């Protein structure tokens, strides 16, 4: 089972590091924001009228690589394979047309949705997501996200800062440290809206 480089021990229960909706092998790590979801939670959300839609993402090892350049725009972002099926594209199109919010689970999902929504057209697609989301990015598709707390100087923390604002994210991280939240793969999550 692929694990991020900061997990050094074997897992006593490898199933803890799988999302309940994973289907296709290919990722080097689990999309960790999805680890918070159980079948019961997904059912309860659907009972409340939340529509769920899925994409296939192959999380790449470079997702854990820090941005080492002083100027983040000089960083070569990694690519991650994605597939957006027709039914997901249709669900997203419906949500947009009806004025409903689109909440992505995880930063890799945000990258994928923003990649396919670049031209404001939501269509079934597959390919390599190579979008580096930095502060100043204009979000076209994603209205909110659920994400874990990430490593400093990572492309992931830059993405959430682009979404919510650097100062707001720094304040959230300060509170998380003060309140002893758990970080990274098995850590706590936040809803940013």
Q: How far apart are CA 107 and CA 143, in angstroms?
A: 13
Q: What is the reported pLDDT for 50?
A: 95
- Quick check: is 5 in a domain? no
Q: What is the reported pLDDT for 10?
A: 64
Domain CATH number, residue 167? 3.40.1780.10
Give tens-digit pLDDT for 118-148.
666 789 999 999 999 999 999 999 999 999 8
- Quick check: is 44 in a domain? yes
Give tens-digit pLDDT for 8-66.
566 565 566 567 777 777 777 777 788 878 899 999 999 999 999 999 999 877 777 78
Write out the residue range of the structural domain in which residue 141 sits: 14-62+75-192
CA distances from 99 to 79, 82, 165, 191 (A): 31, 25, 24, 19
- Quick check: is 126 in a domain? yes
- Quick check: is 8 in a domain? no
Residue 184's nearest CA partner among 170, 171, 173 is: 173
Give tens-digit pLDDT for 156-175.
899 999 999 999 999 998 99
Whether residue 188 is predicted with pLDDT greater than 60 in this model: the reply is yes
- Quick check: is 34 in a domain? yes
Using an 8 Å Cβ cutoff, are 111 and 80 in contact?
A: yes
- Quick check: is 138 in a domain? yes
Which residues does residue 144 pair with via DSSP β-bridges, in sequence order?
A: 103
Q: How far apart are CA 165 and CA 160, in angstroms?
A: 8
Q: How far apart are CA 114 and CA 106, in angstroms?
A: 12
Q: What is the pTM of this model?
A: 0.84
Q: How far apart are CA 63 and CA 156, in angstroms?
A: 7
- Quick check: is 68 in a domain? no
| Total tally of structural domains belonging to the chain | 1
SS3 for the chain is CCCCCCCCCCCCCHHHHCCCCCCCCCCCCCCHHHHHCCHHHHHHHHHCCCCCCCCEEECCHHHHCECCCCCHHHCCCCCEEEEECHHHHHHHHHHHHCCCCCEEECHHHHHHHHHHCCCCCCCCEEEEECCCCCCCCCCCCCCEEEEECCCCCEHHHHHHHHHHCHHHHHHHHHHHHHCCCCCCCCCCEEEEC
- Quick check: is 86 in a domain? yes
């Amino acid at each position: 089972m692929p694990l991020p480089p900061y997990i050094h021990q074997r897992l006593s229960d490898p199933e803890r590091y799988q999302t309940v909706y994973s289907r296709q092998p290919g990722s080097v790590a689990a999309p960790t924001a999805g680890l918070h979801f159980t079948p019961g939670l997904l059912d309860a959300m659907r009972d409340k009228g939340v529509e769920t839609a899925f994409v296939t993402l192959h999380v790449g090892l470079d997702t854990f690589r820090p941005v080492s350049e002083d100027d983040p725009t000089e960083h070569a972002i990694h690519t991650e394979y994605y597939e957006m099926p027709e039914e997901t594209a249709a669900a997203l199109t419906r949500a947009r047309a009806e004025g409903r919010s689109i909440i992505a689970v995880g930063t890799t999902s945000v990258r994928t949705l923003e990649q396919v929504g670049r031209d404001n057209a939501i269509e079934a697609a597959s390919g390599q997501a190579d979008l580096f989301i930095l502060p100043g990015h204009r979000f076209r598709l994603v209205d909110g996200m659920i994400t874990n707390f990430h490593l400093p100087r990572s492309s992931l923390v830059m993405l959430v800062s682009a979404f919510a604002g650097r100062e707001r994210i720094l304040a959230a991280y300060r509170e998380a440290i003060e309140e002893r939240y758990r970080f990274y793969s098995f850590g706590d999550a936040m809803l940013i809206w």
